[in-house]
Structure 1
Amino acid sequence: MAALSNTHLQIFKDKGWFGDGIANSEFVSGVGTNFVGLAIAGAYHAGIRNYDVELAYQAVKANELSYKNRPIGSGKLDTKAFVENGFVPFLERQGDDFVTDSTGSNFSGSHTLEYSFSAFAAAQMAKAMGKTGDYDKFIKLSNGWRQILNPQNKLMQPKKANGSFIEKFDPYQPWRGFQEGNSVQYSFYVPQNPAGLVDAIGKDNFNNRLDSIFTVSEKLGFGGGKTIDAFAGVNSIYNHGNQPNLHTSWLFNFSGKPWLTQKWTRAIGRDFYGTEPIHGYGYGQDEDQGQLGSWYVMNALGLFDVKGFTDLRPIIELGSPLFEKVTITLGNGKTLTIETKNNSKNNVYIQSATFNGTSLDNCWLYRDDLMKGGRLTFVMGSQPNISWGTKIPPPSAQ
């Protein structure tokens, strides 16, 4: 990650911008939302700082706020609209399927959600470096998702420049307001503040809706069924074959039902992934730089962070490990052993857990504690222990 950070900082020094897509140090086509700043902020909070930290912060800040003379290759061409409105207004132009400019975007819903997340990452970096004024600005922008959450249907719904929600809204329709997905999928895309989203939707409504989504999507292998296409699941209610949904099954840890995270993450690992030539990552999938494979590895270890280490003090969520024993050599040279007892394909629920001999009552740990190394032990069972992991939910502070 240090090498990646230094590479992008060199590009920033050479060109004045981060690149949305890079090949041979030149801007190439990306998806238009440019998460380089978020990645560097995450590296900073994970303690990876062997680069010019002040330059890194200025680059992160520019990526979130600057728009004058912004080149196409840097993405985020609707930054001006987001900064001035707090959300990206919806644009729809006859005969033009992909529209993004300084006034808005036809992907305004997903752009608003993604920019809110990256603003949160920048806010936490600003806070860590004592830049209070910048923090206040970024943290306000990080709540842009609230502006497009329709209080009536509790779904993310794009808004027009005048602040009204778009008409003829179909929450299952992909590509209209949402890039490579639809409103049902993206309505859970608030990884920076899951507790805020749970509260806005209502805890019971949130849990019932999300659990039913997985119950239905299980019949389609958690994606687009057996359709062979990179975007096979974009109109599904859940699509593990693309990035916007990869954190969703871990949100039950924030909503008071961690056993449902244990249940559904194991089920996704079992059904979506395969070993046949035609069924590796689903059938229709969009692997994109190893994210689907990386998800499987982290999921099999029973470790995840929906925020990508962008918290001021990052955490690690605990899920349902696949293996009886795994030993990881950490970046600091220490080792972490994860072991399970009574684990099987049916025994997917955590009954109890300990870390270095001390009982764990929560479904998460601070990353810096885990990086001290040692032994993380889970006792598994076939029925959920609904009292485990619910004492203190993972932090979702602003």
Structure 2
Amino acid sequence: MAAVRIGGGSTERQRAFYTALYHAQLHPNIAGDVDGRYAGFDGKTRTASGFTPYQNLSLWDTHRPQNQLLQMLQPKVARDVALSAVAIGRDGGWLPRWSLANSETNIMTGDPVTPFLVEAWSKGLLAGYEKEAYALLRKNALETPPADSPYNGRAGVAAYQERGYIPSGLEPGKDCPDKGGDNDCRHPASATLEYAAADASLALMAQELGHSADARLFAARGQWYRNLWDSSLQQFRPRTTDGTWLTPYDPVEAGHQFHEGGAYQYQWLVPQDPAGLVSLMGGRQAAEKRLDAFFAYGRLLEDPAKTAREEWISAPYDYYGKPTYNPNNEPDLHSPTCTCGRAHPRRPPPWSGPR
């Protein structure tokens, strides 16, 4: 279709780009037969109407960059994928997090389906299904699936609504639902940040659809990321059930309180309020210095390849123990990608700051 064309660079680099572009569109994949029939999440044979069903929605992984790419390059496919997620909620009673074929794996944490569907809605890709999608999203944000459901949903939502954060120390299966896979209560700090970001996105949809009370509720909850900000450390820090800070605490290791990362990787996960985050960090200049340190920027300018391999990526699945950027994992993709500050002849154009 020639949706993307590039020029310049070596043949090898162009080949690498187009190969990556191809790989980025391998999944999700079509789930239905030629007559529209597909295996529903209730175990029944369903027939799609008005959309082509897709499966294998790894939403924690894809809601950040891949779905936006799909929306730009293949909007019809992107609509079908979004409506497939709505169909999962319709057929199985609950929205997915990481669906495999016609089952929920409960892999990864947070609430990725909300920003995924809200963004699809904002692009007009849910036209005709807005009310149904919103009802499913609202239920997902406020309730947990029943005991006989295979979905974990927002496993930590009860504690989150009670305290404004998910506390450290909750026991999955006892204090929060556990249907297998990963669990928000095992990674309470990152799940809190992900819930807050999801709530803030849902507030936009609620407001536009005329649900003003819901919009105010979810917008307020979008600010709950602040409940984990320790001003003495200038970092996000888990809290216990009694409201005290988790002690002892190392923001680099973070005791797996953050999923596949530590406080340094998750310090930028406030896409809903970058200006507020910069303010907590001490202002724009302090945030710029923090970005420089996060990207190991001085060393990166001198030797990009060595810095990326030694400072950024230590091993394919090593997500813990570093205070720097990790481009092979999804949470880091929310971080700003360049800094401003002092004039430097080899710096990229200045970051314009939060908008």
Q: TM bucket by the smaller chain?
A: 0.5 to 0.7
Aligned partner of 2:55 in structure 1 is none
Secondary structure of the residue aligned to 1:202 is: coil
Match of 1:159 among 239, 256, 269: 239
Asked whether the 8 Å contact 1:21–1:28 carries over to 2, the reply is yes
Aligned partner of 2:104 in structure 1 is 27
Q: CA deviation at 1:80?
A: 1.3
Q: Which has the higher helix share?
A: 2
> Structure 1 unaligned runs (5+)?
264-345, 351-385
Q: CA deviation at 1:247?
A: 2.0
TM-score by length of 2: 0.66
**Residues 327-338 of structure 1 aligned to structure 2 (within 5 Å):** none
Change (3 A) 1:92 1:176: farther
Q: CA deviation at 1:23?
A: 1.9
Alignment-mate amino acid for residue 249 of structure 1: P
Asked whether the 8 Å contact 1:43–1:49 carries over to 2, the reply is yes
Change (3 A) 1:68 1:215: closer
Match of 2:287 among 196, 206, 223: 206
Change (3 A) 1:54 1:100: same
**Residues 281-296 of structure 1 aligned to structure 2 (within 5 Å):** none
Aligned partner of 2:157 in structure 1 is 79
Change (3 A) 1:174 1:220: farther
Secondary structure of the residue aligned to 1:101 is: coil
1:329-353 CA distance string (max 9 Å, x none): xxxxxxxxxxxxxxxxx97744xxx
Asked whether the 8 Å contact 1:107–1:175 carries over to 2, the reply is no
Asked whether the 8 Å contact 2:312–2:327 carries over to 1, the reply is no
1:18-40 CA distance string (max 9 Å, x none): 11221222212411323112111
Structure 1 Cα separation of the partners of residues 230 and 258 of structure 2: 15
**Residues 1-398 of structure 1 aligned to structure 2 (within 5 Å):** 1-67=78-144, 69=146, 71-91=149-169, 101=176, 105-203=185-283, 204-215=285-296, 218=300, 220-221=307-308, 227-230=314-317, 232-237=318-323, 238-250=325-337, 252=339, 257=340, 349-350=348-349, 390=352, 394-395=354-355
Asked whether the 8 Å contact 2:140–2:153 carries over to 1, the reply is no
Asked whether the 8 Å contact 1:5–1:51 carries over to 2, the reply is no
1:228-264 CA distance string (max 9 Å, x none): 432x242211211111111213475xxxx3999xx9x
> Structure 2 unaligned runs (5+)?
1-77, 179-183, 301-305
Asked whether the 8 Å contact 1:2–1:50 carries over to 2, the reply is no
Q: CA deviation at 1:394?
A: 4.9
Alignment-mate amino acid for residue 146 of structure 2: N
Structure 2 Cα separation of the partners of residues 12 and 49 of structure 1: 14
Q: CA deviation at 1:115?
A: 0.5
Alignment-mate amino acid for residue 40 of structure 1: L
- What percentage of residue pairs aligned between the two structures are identical? 22
Change (3 A) 1:115 1:223: farther
TM-score by length of 1: 0.60
Aligned partner of 1:290 in structure 2 is none
Structure 2 Cα separation of the partners of residues 100 and 214 of structure 1: 38
Alignment-mate amino acid for residue 235 of structure 1: G
Q: Which moved more, 1:141-150 or 1:221-230?
A: 221-230
Q: Which has the higher strand share?
A: 1
Aligned-residue Cα RMSD (Å) equals 3.0
Change (3 A) 1:157 1:200: same
Change (3 A) 1:164 1:226: closer
Q: CA deviation at 1:75?
A: 3.2
Alignment-mate amino acid for residue 259 of structure 2: Q
Aligned partner of 1:292 in structure 2 is none
Structure 2 Cα separation of the partners of residues 194 and 213 of structure 1: 16
Alignment-mate amino acid for residue 200 of structure 2: F
Asked whether the 8 Å contact 1:224–1:233 carries over to 2, the reply is no
Q: CA deviation at 1:212?
A: 1.9
Structure 1 Cα separation of the partners of residues 165 and 222 of structure 2: 10
Asked whether the 8 Å contact 1:38–1:60 carries over to 2, the reply is no
